[in-house]
């Protein structure tokens, strides 16, 4: 029986073409388990996602590269080859067989990369910022080790058009794989975020300077992807006031207010926020409320999802109040494959082992037990 205090998370919700039976969403989680060297989703990834699928629930895939040169993380999967499409098709089918729904998150890492990951191509960004690759904490997972990011270069206007087409082609492949839609990753200091925030974007052309210019790449990507999927099968993830990967902006309130209001005109499936109380996989300000949702809820009239530092009780409060339409959980889904059941029944949640977040085998990935199995053990 659904506990009355948690009822709001277990009411139905329409997101674009999907009819969800509950509002507990699995957030995108980079886990490094694709088959190398070709970044193909394999059987281990299928097992992982299938374990976390629930009847009428919604899963957003881990960040998935749109091209070879967009890569910046060893083990992250792609959507730029036929073999990758076939791998994802098996995963999507397994999730749908359990009554679940799936969007693919499309990703270009931009300057947060290394030549060992891009096939030798120099990483690209909005502008050149040497302080980024010189920073000892801006590390990239590459074959055999962690390394500081490689020096990057600024994209030309002509190259930007090519990047937009890479997103469009990846969206086509996502639909071929059976996904019900795509989420565009525009947060966490990756390429689109590097264009949005003026700490990384010092361009003086039509993609730099005023906010409306810095939003141009995101707008063009959304338009291109929507031409493939339909706008109601497209979502965007942003990180208002996020500082991960060296990000900063001179007026983040104005920037992300503009972004939310601008995206409201597209008729998206949803807008996905990362609350700034988290940085990467770490909750840095657990006492902080859902400040991004509070700022942007009045500006985006469509469906709103947020992730970052939520517990079941705070998720209930956010949905009950109308602040959010659904809540995405990350670290809790890592260690609780049956998270939906545990939240519904008020069962204790298992802690995650951070040492296995970005490793390459089943340990800390597909070996977390469901609640009854854990109790029996």
The model's pTM: 0.95
Closest CA to 310 of 272, 345, 255: 272
Q: What is the pLDDT of residue 283?
A: 58
User: Stretch 246-255: mean pLDDT, rounded?
Assistant: 97
Q: Is 198 exposed, middle or buried (0-12, 13-18, 19+ CB in 10 A)?
A: buried
Question: Over 70: is that where the pLDDT of 330 sits?
Answer: yes
Domains and their CATH numbers in the chain = 4-376 (3.20.20.70)
Number of H helices, E strands in the chain: 13, 16
The pLDDT, as a whole number, for residue 282 is 59
- What is the length of the chain? 377
C-alpha–C-alpha distance, residues 124 and 132, integer Å: 12
Which tens digit of pLDDT belongs to each residue from 82-135? 999 999 999 999 999 999 999 999 999 999 999 999 999 999 999 999 999 999
pLDDT of residue 2 exceeding 60, the answer is: no
Segment among 125-134, 259-268, 269-278, 359-368 with least mean pLDDT: 269-278
What pLDDT, on the 0 to 100 scale, is given for residue 280?
Answer: 59
Helix ranges restricted to H, the chain? 43-52, 82-97, 130-134, 157-176, 191-196, 211-214, 216-229, 252-263, 291-296, 312-320, 331-335, 339-345, 371-376
- CA 82 – CA 40 distance, rounded (Å): 10
Map tokens 């009950």 to a residue. 320
Q: Give the pLDDT band (50/70/90) at residue 1.
A: very low
pLDDT digits (tens, 9 = 90+) for 215-225: 999 999 999 99
Structural tokens at position 197: 């925030």
Segment 141-196, tens digit of pLDDT: 999 999 999 999 999 999 999 999 999 999 999 999 999 999 999 999 999 999 99
Sorted by sequence, the CB contacts under 8 Å of residue 7 that are 6+ apart come out as none
Q: Which residue has the tokens 């996602």?
A: 49
pLDDT higher than 60, residue 4? no
Name the band, by pLDDT with cuts 50, 70 and 90, for residue 254.
very high
pLDDT band at residue 289 under the 50/70/90 scheme: confident
Q: What is the dihedral of CA 300, 303, 309, 311, to 10 degrees?
A: 140
- Catalytic residue list: 190
Give per-residue pLDDT as tens, 14-58: 999 999 999 999 999 999 999 999 999 999 999 999 999 999 999
pLDDT of residue 6: 82
Q: What is the pLDDT of residues 294-326, one digit of tens each?
A: 999 999 999 999 999 999 999 999 999 999 999
372: pLDDT confidence band, cut at 50, 70 and 90? confident
């Amino acid at each position: 029986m659904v506990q009355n205090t948690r009822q709001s998370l277990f009411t139905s919700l329409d997101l674009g073409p999907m009819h969800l039976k509950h509002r507990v969403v699995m957030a995108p989680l980079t886990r490094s388990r694709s088959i190398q060297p070709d970044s193909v989703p394999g059987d281990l990834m299928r097992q992982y996602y299938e374990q976390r699928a629930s009847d009428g629930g919604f899963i957003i895939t881990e960040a998935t590269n749109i091209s070879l040169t967009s890569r910046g993380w060893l083990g992250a999967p792609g959507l730029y080859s036929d073999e990758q499409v076939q791998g994802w098709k098996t995963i999507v089918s397994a999730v749908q067989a359990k009554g679940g729904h799936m969007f693919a998150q499309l990703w270009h890492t931009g300057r947060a990369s290394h030549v060992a990951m891009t096939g030798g191509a120099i990483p690209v960004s909005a502008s050149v910022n040497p302080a980024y690759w010189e920073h000892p904490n801006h590390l990239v997972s590459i074959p055999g080790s962690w390394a500081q990011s490689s020096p990057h270069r600024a994209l030309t206007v002509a190259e930007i058009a090519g990047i937009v087409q890479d997103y469009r082609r990846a969206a086509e492949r996502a639909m071929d794989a059976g996904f019900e839609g795509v989420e565009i990753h525009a947060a966490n200091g990756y390429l689109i975020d590097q264009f949005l925030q003026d700490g990384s974007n010092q361009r003086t052309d039509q993609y730099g300077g005023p906010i409306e210019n810095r939003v141009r790449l995101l707008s063009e990507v959304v338009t291109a992807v929507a031409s493939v999927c339909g706008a109601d099968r497209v979502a965007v993830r942003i990180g208002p006031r996020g500082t991960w990967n060296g990000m900063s902006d001179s007026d983040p309130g104005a920037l992300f207010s503009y972004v939310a209001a601008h995206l409201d005109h597209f008729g998206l499936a949803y807008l996905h926020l990362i609350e700034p109380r988290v940085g990467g996989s770490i909750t840095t300000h657990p006492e902080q409320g859902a400040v991004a949702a509070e700022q942007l809820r009045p500006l985006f009239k469509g469906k709103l999802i947020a992730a970052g530092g939520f517990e079941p009780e705070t998720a209930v409060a956010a949905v009950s109040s109308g602040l959010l339409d659904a809540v995405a959980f990350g670290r809790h889904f890592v260690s609780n494959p049956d998270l939906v059941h545990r939240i519904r029944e008020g069962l204790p949640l298992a802690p995650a082992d951070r040492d296995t977040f970005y490793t390459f085998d089943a340990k800390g990935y597909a070996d977390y037990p469901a609640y009854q199995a854990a109790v029996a053990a």
